[in-house]
Structure 1
Amino acid sequence: MGKESGVLSPAFTVQKGACITSPKGFKAAGMHVGIKRKRPDLGAIVCEREATAAAVYTVNAFQAAPIQVTQDSLGVSGKLRGVVVNSGNANACTGRQGMMDAYAMRAKLAEELACPQSMVAVASTGVIGVLMPMNKVIQGIEALVPKLKAPDTSFAEAILTTDTCTKQVEVSVEIEGKPVTIAGVAKGSGMIKPNMATMLAFITTDAVIEPEILQSLLWKTTDQTFNMITVDGDTSTNDMVLVMASGEAGHAPLDMHHADWSKFQQAFQYVCQELAKMIARDGEGATRLIEVVVEGAIHEQEAQNIAKAVVGSSLVKTAVFGADPNWGRIVCAAGYGEPSLRPESIDVYLGHVQVIGGGMPLLFDEEQAREELNQEKVIIRVNLHRGQATATAWGCDLTYEYVRINASYRT
């Protein structure tokens, strides 16, 4: 599969034909093993050497068994050889048997890779409360490993549930004059809320970086990207973002004091942000991506609280679906997002149309406002005039189709 250069930024280049195996040292594969009726449902990403690894997980109290197994693996050395992922079954709320099954998945991939079990992570997504069909899964892992290859696009298909498309991003950046690639793949369409969601994201890079540095970068970046999206306000049991770095680019180890750290950080953030936006745009039944930009906050947390409240409001989401410039829903959400706001200082814009100035309604062209709300990407901007901090959150409209999909999810 050929590669074409896409958008050029000051720090990195966005690549067309994104692929999770583009960074040196990685292979992947996906296939159908029978967890789902027809579509691919089992996949793996494998590094040819021990990769530096980091992860963040759902904050839901009912963490699924695979989450706990992956935490166990990463707690040993911060290194991984591979991750096995299934879709169609969350292996959540499945008790002791579910834990045994997740450990069995880990053990089987480790056996196939001839590596310690602690070098394997596990991830699952799908229906909650159903035991895994382990005969199919174990046989599937055995059949999957010989299919591992680079480039590969089948893994991106194998992790989907109600998604309507695969989600992949790839960028290249120069570190010490050497090419470094960062690639990401994700799934997520429903049960999406800030503080992680029913989403899985996997990021690979050939950069050289130590586990604690990678973990710190991932925590910070997740707060500004994956934790700033919502579809329906539900936080799932299985969410995970996992990063693996092969170190095959051959530069000096990256950290905050490295001369090219800022370039790598910007490239890494771009990959996470684009994956997050893809998840929000592909929300179940969605017709529009909503981007809420909050400016002029006292601090970033204030801006984040308001942005997430507005983009997560069901009333705002339905107003966007109906292209109804009902600005009252926006200021209402902003007010409960941050109760200490001064209403008299707030400006609100729907795209280019200002609807609130100094906390008071303005005369505006309703048809022009409706046109802004009919765009594929709807931008809502709130200026607090309180400070210099900003934040952006992403979500989607709430439609009749969302209800239809989730009313019959198990059937």
Structure 2
Amino acid sequence: MYLFTSEVVSPGHPDKCADIIADSIVDEILIHDANGRVASEVFVAGKNIVIGGEINSTHTLSHADYRQIALKALANIGYDGKSAFTHEQCLHPDDVEVAVHINQQSPDINQGVDQASGEIGAGDQGIMFGFASCEADEYMPAAITYARRICDKVYSYAKAHPDELGVDIKTQVTIDYGTKENFEECRPQSIHTIVVSAPCVESMDIERLRELVQGLIDNSALPANLYHKDKTIIYINPTGRYVNHSSLHDSGLTGRKLIVDSFGGYAPIGGGAQSSKDYTKVDRSGLYAARYIAKNIVAAGLAKKCIVQLSYAIGVARPTSVSVDTMGTHIASVDDDKLSNFVMQHFPLTPKWITDKFKLASPSRESFLYADVAARGQVGQADYPWEKLDSVELFKSLIK
């Protein structure tokens, strides 16, 4: 055996609640002011929500506005007061207290970001990593792909049946590659272990809960060549009781689920979170660009997997470095040096270029909402603009 594991959490996890509330604020600002600058953090603990950070915008929000944004986000997640769980077992909106501590963005930062030429300087220094793999249709690693599918299935059921399940859900999938060589060559052999933890109402016995969740796992569109129900080790609520959940029994903080949000531990991640930040913050836009390039390289057949690293200096538009690492899986005629130089020549990768390419200044229900991205993961969803495969032919031009 050669095993690798990734975990996923649902939007109802307290950390995800914090991310979703933070990105609901980003959406609210940018929908009304495309030039708004946002870097707000959210802390959720017990019945308390604390919103802090810095915002510059022509669209001003009152304390009542922030409270309404937070409560609406919680209701969309599933904390709408309609569940069968008591006020002691999970968060109810009537109990929530919201504190707001928002400052103006420092003019020292702003003078480097909004440049007279119309260019946008990076909102901070930092490093970002994008990754892609041929292991699954989503060009994502296998473990996080299938953990997400299971989590999405259980979460959807929980939202539709609040009299049975709560929305604070965790899943975990272990892939057996058989050998290290198979791991390096992106050849998963089987799903070795599945773990699901889903809160259920006190009246539901553990046998019923496990039967219910097992059925949801079986209907999660797991590949038939990898998932073998009789062979896969499956743990469903392994402690035997999971009733108390939400921020009443945990705490949540913006940016604490970076591995869940990205590549499940298969690849390096940058030093900063994406949620809570506007598009000038390269922690966000740089990740999207790096993922886009890595995905198009793999989809073009130039490598089985690919890491793209970008780095930026605050107030400087062009990245300070660009590197491509195909981890030894590139085709013979196109090596990492050639790929790195090709990317630098053909992709400006300035915050303005990334913003215009993916329409990051214009979140909407018709394109994407940052709150939805926070809920579903920053990468790996085919409907995100940065997941498009519209540079495949350009990369294929490298093949002689």
TM over 0.5: no
Query: Greater share of strand residues, 1 or 2?
Result: 1
Considering Cα pairs closer than 8 Å and 6+ residues apart, tell me whether 1 or 2 has the greater RCO. Answer: 2
- Tell me the TM-score normalized by structure 1: 0.29
TM-score if structure 2 supplies the norm length? 0.29
